[in-house]
Amino acid sequence: MKQNKKTSKIEFDDLKQISSIRVYSLKYDTTNRTGGNATELLRFITTSPNIPGYLYLNRGYRRIELVNTNSWRFQRGWSKHDLDYGERDEIRSIKFSYDGTYLAMNIKWNDRLEFIDLRKHDDQMTLMKRIRMSKDSASLSHRVQIPFGQNKWLVIDEKNQCYKVSANPDDQSIIPIRTDHVEAIENVQIRLCFVRNHSYLLVGQVVGDNKQKQGVLSFYKLPV
């Protein structure tokens, strides 16, 4: 990005490719079969500002990989079976914590329920905490880590109700947060992002009905 000297606004400059990560085939992938050859699709990418030079990839909802961005070489990988998930389970959205010590992962269990696993940034990707509703009363998905309370996350259920949870394994509380002004369509998940030095929360939502839908971005001022 660069600053326009006449308007003082920040504008996008030309994008320059540094490197690329190619899709490749895996013999035993079950997510997408074409003529007997399976394609491992790149689903999610995540990084941490405190672990420069590395990023995590989610391939085909079934494999996590660690890549060195200095050499752009594969460092290590874990299949969903390595992480003790079943054949019908899927690893969905992944998010590296700000401090780079663990990964938050949305898990779709048995083609039905969704919950959140927090796994350490180590050789075994050790499970440090599982976040799920009591009696599995609702599915949960992580959305964003709270930057000024780095032990906390904002998560949502399938009705876009927001909750605050802790990464501390000893804290099992799931605290509802009032979201009176968020009117997104149920089952179309909202997106959350902290902006402007963490003083605002940006909420992306889909509003309307089945006949007419519209994407809306809303800014919410956080209390001082």
- Do 199 and 132 fall into the same domain? no
pTM over 0.85: no
Contacting residues for 93 by C-beta, under 8 A, at least 6 apart: 44, 58, 105, 106, 141, 142
Quick one: what percent of the chain has pLDDT higher than 90? 50
pLDDT in tens, 125-171: 999 999 999 888 889 999 999 988 768 999 999 988 999 999 999 99
Please give the DSSP secondary-structure letter assigned to residue 134: G
Task: Count up the domains in the chain and report the number.
Answer: 2
- The domain in which residue 188 lies consists of 183-224
Residue 112 exposure: Cα atoms within 13 Å on the Cβ side: 5
AA letter at 66? L
Distance CA 79, CA 29 (A): 10
- Report whether pLDDT(186) > 50: yes
* Mean pLDDT calculated for residue range 175-196: 85
The Cβ of residue 208 has, within 10 Å, a number of other Cβ atoms equal to 14
- Do 65 and 30 fall into the same domain? yes
- Do 20 and 117 fall into the same domain? yes
- Report whether pLDDT(11) > 90: no
Can you give the pLDDT at residue 163?
94
Distance CA 102, CA 46 (A): 12
Can you give the pLDDT at residue 10?
55
3-state secondary structure 41-73: CEEEEECCCCCCCEEEEEECCCEEEEEECCCCE
- Do 130 and 210 fall into the same domain? no
The Cβ of residue 94 has, within 10 Å, a number of other Cβ atoms equal to 20
Distance CA 45, CA 26 (A): 19
- Report whether pLDDT(34) > 50: no
- Do 221 and 156 fall into the same domain? no
- Do 52 and 102 fall into the same domain? yes
